[in-house]
């Protein structure tokens, strides 16, 4: 292996001479390429950032103006957390092209907190207080939690990466059907056609263009898809006309944080789930950018996650975690520079400070986002399959680990009510296919490959040909199956 990683992708052409010997993760790109690529990351994760505050804000009963404020606060804090991850401070930040935003894992427990709070005006302060405590405890626990990396060999990481992609695909399918599942036109041929057109545009750009245009195919596809949607009356420009030009998320806008034990315990559970998913995401991203995430990197990344979460409530934001959908964007474009993602974090901060800027991204119709999401999230699953190729699947033990872990992880996707009889706190973990699949893969790997004597000669049995008899020669044949 060479002492310095070589730049092997389309990024090379735009790199400064002094960056030629740098790892692609540490490269700086030309300004225009940096800005447009960063904006593409924002477009890929915008819907995921704004959805939780919209859901929680509506449950609290906030007005339209307050909802806009809460959404802007989430964008602002997501940008700050992304800065911590990509640029890093001291031992904080994975320094990988890692986007942070509001985690969906916290939505259900936050709604439960709202339901159990008598005065709805106290609900957000109680939630913010619980997030602060959970974030600080998670920050202290990060070095110990990161030691779990030794239990994530390729058979585990490949399974988890595949599950990340598979778990995200239903999100894209939901976007493709429209913005409102209760609407009569949800899943209409118009929405599905717009999603299909966007998908085709992205694929054509990836197939028949080169260089920079090929790398920003998703962003161009979103623009073209939005323009095509205008005659169908799907594109709504009212958020732009109604938004203020400047608006700062004033600290503790909804009141000083309150600390309730039940809420704190609930959010600490969410923090553990979030840290588990972030660990899996960092391992996935490390494989994609050819800089494997070691224990030190994971500890630094978890510190950024947890510190970002602890700071977020100060500006009226929620718990922050890694955004897996952006890993798909890195995998597809092969633009691995962390400074590109930091640039995206800058856009998030600016949108949080300027509601009118934030509203520009919100103009993109959900079906258009859905079409692009199929490519992004599918790329994550494909990266997981590539990792599994290296996992030694010629061994029966590893095949069983992958088979059972994938099955466990897919349960919440294929049967959302499977765990309906379990307590709400348990469902926080069980309803996350990434978390359950990750735990299953780790435990099965320990049982099959670490406890007792490891059977390295357990080969996968090859399918029998018609008329073939079981014999010793067949066993020898199976040893050569890969």
Residue 27: left (phi > 0), alpha (psi -120 to 50), or beta?
A: beta
Per DSSP, 9 falls in state S
Question: φ and ψ at 322, to 5 degrees?
Answer: -65, 145
| Predicted model pTM | 0.66
Taking each helix axis as running N to C, give the angle between helix 366-389 and helix 217-229, from 0 to 180 degrees, rounded to the nearest 10: 150
Calpha distance 188→176 (Å, rounded): 10
CB 137 within 8 A of CB 129: no
Domain boundaries, the chain: 22-449
CB 384 within 8 A of CB 161: yes
Q: Under DSSP, is residue 314 helix (H, G, I), strand (E, B) or coil?
A: helix
CB 320 within 8 A of CB 102: yes
Taking each helix axis as running N to C, give the angle between helix 154-177 and helix 324-333, from 0 to 180 degrees, rounded to the nearest 10: 100
pLDDT for residue 1: 42
- Kind and range of the H or E run holding 283: helix 261-288
Give CA torsion, residues 446, 271, 343, 55, to 10 deg.
Answer: 130
| Nearest to 41, CA basis, from 197, 194, 160, 215 | 215
Handedness of CA 225, 102, 187, 65 (dihedral sign): negative
pLDDT for residue 6: 44
pLDDT for residue 127: 93
CB 310 within 8 A of CB 95: no
**How many other C-beta atoms are found inside a 10 Å radius of the C-beta of residue 5?**
16
Token digits of residue 474 = 């067949």
Token digits of residue 148 = 């779990």
Per-residue pLDDT of the chain (482 residues; tens, 9 = 90+): 444 444 444 444 444 444 457 888 888 888 888 888 888 888 777 767 877 887 788 788 887 677 778 888 899 999 999 999 999 888 898 898 888 888 876 776 788 788 778 788 888 999 999 999 999 999 999 998 888 767 778 888 788 878 878 887 887 898 899 888 888 889 999 999 999 999 999 999 988 987 667 767 887 888 899 999 999 888 878 777 777 787 778 888 888 999 988 788 878 877 887 787 788 788 888 888 888 888 899 999 999 999 999 999 999 999 988 877 678 778 877 888 999 999 999 999 988 888 777 666 667 888 998 898 888 778 778 878 888 887 878 888 899 999 999 999 899 888 888 988 888 667 766 777 777 888 899 899 999 987 765 455 445 444 434 444 434 444 343 333 33
Please identify which residue in the block is written with the tokens 């009226």.
316
Widest distance between CA atoms in the chain: 77
Calpha distance 327→284 (Å, rounded): 8
Calpha distance 318→276 (Å, rounded): 18
* Residue 53 CB contacts under 8 Å (≥ 6 apart), including other chains: 67, 70, 71, 73, 74, 102, 318
């Amino acid at each position: 292996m060479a002492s310095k990683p070589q730049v092997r992708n389309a990024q090379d052409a735009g790199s400064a001479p002094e960056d030629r010997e740098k790892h692609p993760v540490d490269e700086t790109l030309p300004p225009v390429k940096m800005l447009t690529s960063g904006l593409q990351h924002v477009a890929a994760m915008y819907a995921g950032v704004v959805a939780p505050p919209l859901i929680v804000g509506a449950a609290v009963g906030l007005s339209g103006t307050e909802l806009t404020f809460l959404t802007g606060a989430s964008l602002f804090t997501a940008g700050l957390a992304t800065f911590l991850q990509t640029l890093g401070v001291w031992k904080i930040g994975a320094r990988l092209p890692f986007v942070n935003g509001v985690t969906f894992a916290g939505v259900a427990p936050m709604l439960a907190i709202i339901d159990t709070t008598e005065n709805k005006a106290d609900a957000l302060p109680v939630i913010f207080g619980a997030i602060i405590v959970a974030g600080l405890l998670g920050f202290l626990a990060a070095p110990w939690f990161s030691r779990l990396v030794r239990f994530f060999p390729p058979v585990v990481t490949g399974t988890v990466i595949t599950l990340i992609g598979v778990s995200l695909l239903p999100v894209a399918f939901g976007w493709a059907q429209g913005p409102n599942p209760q609407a009569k036109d949800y899943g209409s041929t118009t929405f599905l056609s717009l999603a299909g057109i966007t998908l085709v545009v992205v694929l054509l750009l990836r197939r028949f263009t080169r260089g920079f245009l090929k790398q920003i195919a998703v962003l161009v596809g979103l623009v073209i898809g939005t323009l095509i949607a205008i005659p169908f009356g799907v594109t709504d420009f009212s958020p732009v006309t109604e938004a203020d030009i400047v608006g700062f998320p004033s600290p503790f806008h909804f009141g000083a944080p309150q600390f309730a034990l039940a809420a704190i315990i609930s959010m600490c559970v969410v923090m553990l789930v979030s840290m588990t998913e972030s660990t899996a995401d960092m391992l996935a991203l490390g494989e994609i950018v050819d800089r494997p995430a070691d224990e030190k990197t994971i500890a630094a990344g978890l510190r950024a996650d947890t510190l970002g979460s602890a700071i977020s409530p100060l500006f009226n934001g929620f718990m922050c975690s890694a955004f897996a959908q952006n890993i798909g964007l890195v995998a597809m474009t092969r633009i691995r520079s962390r400074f590109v993602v930091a640039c995206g974090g800058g856009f998030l901060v600016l949108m949080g400070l300027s509601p009118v800027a934030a509203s520009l991204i919100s103009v993109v119709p959900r079906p258009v986002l859905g079409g692009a999401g199929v490519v992004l999230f599918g790329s994550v699953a494909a990266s997981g399959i590539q990792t599994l190729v290296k996992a030694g699947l010629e061994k029966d033990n590893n095949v069983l680990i992958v088979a059972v872990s994938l099955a466990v992880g897919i349960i919440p996707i294929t049967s959302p009510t499977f765990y309906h009889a379990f307590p709400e706190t348990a469902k926080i973990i069980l309803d996350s296919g990434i978390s359950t699949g990750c735990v299953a893969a780790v435990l099965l790997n320990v049982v099959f490959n670490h406890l007792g004597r490891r059977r390295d000669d357990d080969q996968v049995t090859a399918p029998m040909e018609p008329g073939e008899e079981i014999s010793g020669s067949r066993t020898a044949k199976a040893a050569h199956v890969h």
